[in-house]
Structure formats: structure tokens, C-alpha cells
Amino acid sequence: MRARPNLLILMADQLSASVLPAYGGKVAKTPHLDALADAGVVFESFYCNSPLCAPSRFSWLAGQLPSKIGAYDNAAEFAAQVPTFAHYLRRAGYRTVLSGKMHFCGADQLHGFEERLTTDIYPADFGWTPDWTRFEERPGWYHTMDSVIQAGPCTRTNQIDFDDEVVFAARQKLFDIARGRDRRPFCLRSALRTTLRSAICICSRQTGFQRRSPRMR
């Protein structure tokens, strides 16, 4: 019987494929991700089911369209009764672990994962729910042009601090799994807030591919 593979899933926020050298980008320097792309599988025909953060994540986990599961905005509840791939993996005998940002709204903060290593960087309540009867009004705390006009180099942010914690917890869990007696295959999903910076810290040390696969269209 063929051994079931371990799964390490890295997800970064606000990362456009076009900036990566694997997709023709000329500016970003990503040697470790380039190595993964060269030795692994690169998908060239794909799309995101929602331009919004939470609905996109919920759709990806559930394998269903946002409209099917009621994920209309970043304040929508991800219903606990919606099965995710983590539920199916656990049923197949996998150990499922979550580290980092998921933006789950509602009481269920696991959605099939049996262990969560960090808290979230965004609230789990419904404080982001918009007033759709006054759609022309934008809450004062909501997205503005500040992220553009104030952009520039910085030493630290709360998002960098959060990602450092996510990476540390994920790497430590991989070490613990390697040392432990639990022989189940694992699925570790690490979700980062600041695009590339922290993802490289994990994949450059923990992930390897042994053969080259074709680009998938």
C-alpha cells in the first residue's frame, strides 16, 4: 500500500502570482519559492472564487462557491455544519493542524482541524458586518487609502509580529511531529499575513521535492 503523503500548505495574503518569477515577475527575488516551482507543480490556469479574504478562504476549505455557503463578505459566518477538506482528511486518518490567519467568523475556530497553534489576527465576531441599508457609508475603521499613502519601509508591525509567531509555531510543530510517536500522516496549514517574507522561512527549511513535475494548465 502506497504511503499517504504529508501535506504542508502555505497561504499568503495579498500575493499576486504575476510578481513571482515562476509566473514571469521581474522584480521580486524569491529563490526558495523558485526552487519549489522548478521541482514541483505550477498551475497556470486558476482563479480565486472571491476577491474578498474570508469568502475566498471559506470557499477553498469547503470546495464550494461562496454563494453556496453564504460567504458574502468578511463578516459572514462560516457555518460549522459545512464540511471542509480538514474533516475529510481526519476521516482518512490524517493529523490536521492549523497555524495562522483564517478569519473564521463565528464560534467554530477549527472547522475540521484538530489543533490550532495560534490565535487569529482578525476578530472572530461580527463587528465587520456592514449596514447594507446604507451601503454608501464606509465605517471609519474600514479600508482607506492610508495603506497606500503611508506605505514604505518599516521596522516592525503587528502583522510582522503575528507572522513571526505563526512561523515559529509551525516549525516547532514539524519538529514535534518528527520526534513524536504519532505515526499518522499530517496536514499542516500555515496562513501568513505579510505575503512572502515568512513563507520562505518555512519552505526553505522544511519542504523538499524529489522530482520535477510539469506545469499544469
Q: Give yes or no for a contact between 66 and 72, defined as CB atoms under 8 angstroms apart.
A: yes
Active-site hit among 32, 53, 87, 203? 53
b/e code 58-77 from CB counts within 10 Å (16+ = b): bbbbbebebeebebebbebb
Active-site hit among 103, 111, 187, 201? 103
Distance CA 197, CA 211 (A): 26
Torsion, Cα 23 28 31 33, to 10 degrees, reads -50
- How many residues in total does the chain contain? 217
Does the active-site annotation cover 53? yes
Distance CA 85, CA 102 (A): 14
E strand or H helix at 190 = strand 186-192
Does the active-site annotation cover 87? no
What is the side-by-side order of every strand in the sheet holding 186-192? 7-12, 186-192, 95-100, 115-116
Q: Would you please indicate which residues are annotated as catalytic (active-site) residues? A: 53, 103
